[in-house]
């Protein structure tokens, strides 16, 4: 991986969909950052609200707005459009309702300059509600398992994870907050862009793909605020299990270690069960039973049996 310039350009990619309520706050948190060699690429997925009107006053040579020709149904398409239209050396992912904390960009750039050949940087983060109330000071503070594979660096709060370790740990917890992620452009050039066939889970799919070839760096400091939004994609529960299953099944390769195969079965069983619950709620009894049976075949459980019985009445 070629070395970065002393002050590399950072492209911040923001998918936008009906973001009128929070996007100005998000953009102001970016404009107030200490690191200034940036560009912001906003890609609107055919919003039906006033997102464009709110964004327009912010537009400049370094803040650009694009709109998809038709709704992509998820953030992967807009993310790819943003990356294709960006010019930065480092690509930063950010959601349209999250808030950058002071120093986030500068801290990320410094970490890349001090830790060469990193494929993905992620950080700690806080969570807030729709009214900006702080919910959790450090969202990942209780995520202890993935910390066991850290390799220390000269930076006391930045930890390296080998490619193999990062890939393995993604089976046990999703410790990568999307708005904390920075990926060098050359990595996208190597492994490709987000999978636009996935209406959600494209981010987790990307983390797996990066981890197959590159080390991660985790900065153990909260550097953004993640908004828990009841109307967001991440809040859609069982319906999202469809894409989670697709992403997980891609990991079922002949060379997958036995411990990860076991964990993969557990994750697939749980997601098939979540999908079955969604089908029961949607009065789709036959689909529910089919997914329950898939779950049961992977990991028999009392919950699966009870849900199968319930599905007979839906």
Q: Give yes or no: residues 284 and 182 share one domain.
A: no
User: How many domains does one find in the chain?
Assistant: 2
What pLDDT, on a 0 to 100 scale, did the predictor assign at position 203? Answer: 97
Identify whether residues 173 and 183 lie together within a single domain: yes
Name 286's Cβ contacts closer than 8 Å, sequence gap at least 6: none
Say if 90 falls within a structural domain.
yes
In a domain, 224, yes or no: yes
Q: Using an 8 Å Cβ cutoff, are 92 and 184 in contact?
A: no
Q: Answer for the pair 52, 65: CB distance below 8 angstroms, yes or no.
A: yes
In a domain, 1, yes or no: no
Quote the pLDDT of residue 314. 65
In 103-214 the beta strands, taken as DSSP E runs, fall at 118-128, 134-136, 151-152, 158-161, 182-184
Contact at 8 Å (CB) between 29 and 102?
no
What is the per-residue pLDDT for 94?
A: 98
Give pLDDT < 50 ranges for the chain.
232-235
Rounded to whole angstroms, how far apart are CA atoms 258 and 301? Answer: 21
Residue 15 and residue 99 in one domain: yes
Domain boundary among 188, 219, 235: 235
Question: Do 146 and 205 fall into the same domain?
Answer: yes
Cα–Cα distance between 131 and 218 in angstroms, integer? 29
For position 233, what pLDDT does the model report? 44
Residue 206 lies in a domain: yes
> What does the pLDDT look like over 82-135, one tens digit per residue?
999 999 999 999 999 999 999 999 999 999 999 989 999 999 999 999 999 999
- Taking only the tens place, the pLDDT of each residue in 139-176 is 999 999 999 999 999 999 999 999 999 999 999 999 99
- Clarify whether residues 42 and 65 are in a common domain: yes
The reply to whether 135 falls in a domain is yes
Neighbour tally for 190: CB within 10 Å: 14
Residue 2: inside a domain, yes or no? no
CA dihedral 233, 236, 240, 244 (to 10 degrees): 70
Residue 131 structural domain: 10-235
Q: For residues 88 and 137, state if they share a domain.
A: yes
Q: Are residues 300 and 249 in the same domain?
A: yes
Nearest partner of 101 among 10, 221, 234, judged by Cα: 221
Same domain, 164 and 225: yes
- Give the domain CATH number at 96: 3.90.550.10
Contacts of 167 (CB under 8 A, 6+ apart): 208, 211, 212
CA distance 141 to 17: 30
**Residue ending a domain, choose from 181, 201, 235:** 235
CA atoms within 13 A on the CB side of 119: 23
pLDDT at 304: 87
> Among the three residues 176, 204, 235, which one is the final residue of a domain in this structure?
235
């Amino acid at each position: 991986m070629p070395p970065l310039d002393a002050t590399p350009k950072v492209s911040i990619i923001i998918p936008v969909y009906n973001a009128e309520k929070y996007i100005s706050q998000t953009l102001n948190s970016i404009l107030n950052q200490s690191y200034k060699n940036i560009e912001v690429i906003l890609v609107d997925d055919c919003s039906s609200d006033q997102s464009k009107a709110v964004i327009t006053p912010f537009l400049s040579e370094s803040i650009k707005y694009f709109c998809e020709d038709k709704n992509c149904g998820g953030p992967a398409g807009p993310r790819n459009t943003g990356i294709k239209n960006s010019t930065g050396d480092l690509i930063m992912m950010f959601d349209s309702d999250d808030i950058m904390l002071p120093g986030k960009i500068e801290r990320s750039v410094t970490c890349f300059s001090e830790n060469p050949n990193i494929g993905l940087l992620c950080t700690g983060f806080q969570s807030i509600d729709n009214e900006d109330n702080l919910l959790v000071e450090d969202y990942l503070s209780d995520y202890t398992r993935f910390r066991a594979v850290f390799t220390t660096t000269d930076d006391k709060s930045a930890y390296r994870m080998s490619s193999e370790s990062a890939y393995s740990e993604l089976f046990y917890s999703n410790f990568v907050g999307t708005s904390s992620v920075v990926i060098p452009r050359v990595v996208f050039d190597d492994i490709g862009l987000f999978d636009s066939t996935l209406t959600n889970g494209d981010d987790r799919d990307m983390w797996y793909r990066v981890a197959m070839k590159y080390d991660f760096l985790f900065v153990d400091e909260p550097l953004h605020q993640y908004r828990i939004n009841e109307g967001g994609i991440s809040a859609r529960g069982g319906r999202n299990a469809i894409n989670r299953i697709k992403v997980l099944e891609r990991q079922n390769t002949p060379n997958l270690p036995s411990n990860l195969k076991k964990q993969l079965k557990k994750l697939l069983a749980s997601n098939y069960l979540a999908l079955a619950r969604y089908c029961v709620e949607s009065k789709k009894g036959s689909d529910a039973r089919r997914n329950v049976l898939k779950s049961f075949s992977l990991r028999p459980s009392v919950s699966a049996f009870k849900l199968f019985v319930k599905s007979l009445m839906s």
